[in-house]
Amino acid sequence: MRPVSRVLQTFLDLARISSPTGRERGVAEYVAAALREAGCEIRFDDTQEVTGSDTGNLIAELPGTVGGILVAFSAHMDCVDPCEGVEPVVEDGVIRSAGDTVLGGDDKAGVAAVIETARRIAESPEPHAGLKFVITVSEEQGLVGAKALSASDASADVCLVLDAHGPVGGIVTAAPTHYIFEAGFTGRAAHAGVEPEKGISAIQMACAAIAHMNLGRLDKQTTANIGTIEGGSATNVVAPACKVTGECRSLDRARVERVREEMDAALREGAAESGGSVDVTWSLAYEGLSVAEDAAELLLVEGACADIGVTSSRFATGGGSDANIIAALGVPSLVLSSGMSKVHTTDEELEVAQLELLSDLLVAIVRRAAG
């Protein structure tokens, strides 16, 4: 039987600590203790009132012994539900949940690799540049922890966010700009069986609006979706109110603006056709991420992949991450694949070899950063 490696044991410890969004304190305390023991300077920011979490974002720094590139590694502490009482099981080199929960590899694989990297760098006699670790809260519900970060807490020469699916070596070089909306349709109530002609159905307005929209995958870079529709009170009442939520996102900044305008126009047309009204609120969830082909941070990671014999691959994603937020603060950022698969499902799994390889990659990046 293969002995349990240190990084695997760290991951198993983390997986067993419940950390739904907003209740990350247990993980925060574990990570803080581990990084402090490795020689890091630890602090938490004061963002709980903004994020609603029971802890702040964790900021840790390991002082360098030589000059070089200041690399920040980032991961998040929270997991999607169901994530209470996770019991990880290792079988044939693969970690899975034993019950009806997610495993929590998203993003405890990244957190475990951060801890292992800090330990290995601290234990090594090799010179190293300064390191920073930014471990956020409440990522799974709108990147809330990262959005609350101050520019100084996020600052670094490069930030590598350990939060992409797929085998180690994958590098996200593009992620979309993402808009969300909430539309409140207002009609007029009436008895549906006695005098329906006196009513104006807000649900009918919403349906007309949605029918005017192009939804799904609009092109290789762009998607649009209706997420929820809610309204009405009884079958015999013409619904006076209805709420609809939705989104659009695209890797093309100009394209997402056009789609947003088209969806907005459809919402207003749907209301006007029936003589009702609609109040539409749009929010920019996050700006897109786009990395130049010759970006220094990209070459740094690809060089480190080559150093440990891993084939690197660049890819674009339709999802956002903390990297979108940190990049918008002016920090060159990438998202790295962390070996996760089937994330956000109870079938989630993580290969032990991938977890160990991720740690190897981060150590190789640190070595390159020292020059």
In angstroms, the Cα distances linking 11 to 8, 17, 177, 361 are 5, 10, 32, 17
Backbone region of residue 312 per phi and psi (left: phi > 0; alpha: psi in -120 to 50; beta: other values): beta
Q: CB burial class (10 A; 0-12, 13-18, 19+) of residue 235?
A: exposed
Tell me the C-alpha distance between 291 and 295, whole Å: 7
Q: Across residues 172-183, what is the average pLDDT? A: 97
Q: What is the pLDDT of residue 2?
A: 56
126 is catalytic: no
Q: Across residues 88-101, what is the average pLDDT? A: 95
252-292 confidence digits (pLDDT tens): 999 999 999 999 999 999 999 999 999 999 999 999 999 99
194-221 confidence digits (pLDDT tens): 999 999 999 999 999 999 999 999 999 9
269 is catalytic: no
> 217: helix, coil or strand?
strand
Identified catalytic residue from 24, 106, 139, 264? 139
Q: Across residues 131-159, what is the average pLDDT? A: 97
DSSP 323-366: HHHHHHTT--EEEEEEEEESTTSTT-EEEHHHHHHHHHHHHHHH
Identified catalytic residue from 24, 61, 78, 351? 78
Q: How many CA atoms lie within 13 A of 276 on its CB side?
A: 31
pTM: 0.92
Q: Across residues 177-205, what is the average pLDDT? A: 97
Q: What is the pLDDT of residue 99?
A: 87
**Where residue 108 falls among pLDDT bands split at 50, 70, 90?**
very high
**Where residue 89 falls among pLDDT bands split at 50, 70, 90?**
very high
Tell me the C-alpha distance between 311 and 314, whole Å: 10
Q: What is the pLDDT of residue 4?
A: 79
**Where residue 64 falls among pLDDT bands split at 50, 70, 90?**
very high
> 300: helix, coil or strand?
helix
Tell me the C-alpha distance between 8 and 26, whole Å: 18
Q: What is the pLDDT of residue 371?
A: 78
Tell me the C-alpha distance between 338 and 355, whole Å: 7
Q: What is the mean pLDDT of the chain?
A: 96
Domains in the chain (CATH in brackets) are 6-175+288-369 (3.40.630.10), 177-286 (3.30.70.360)
Which residue's structure tokens are 């800090």? 118
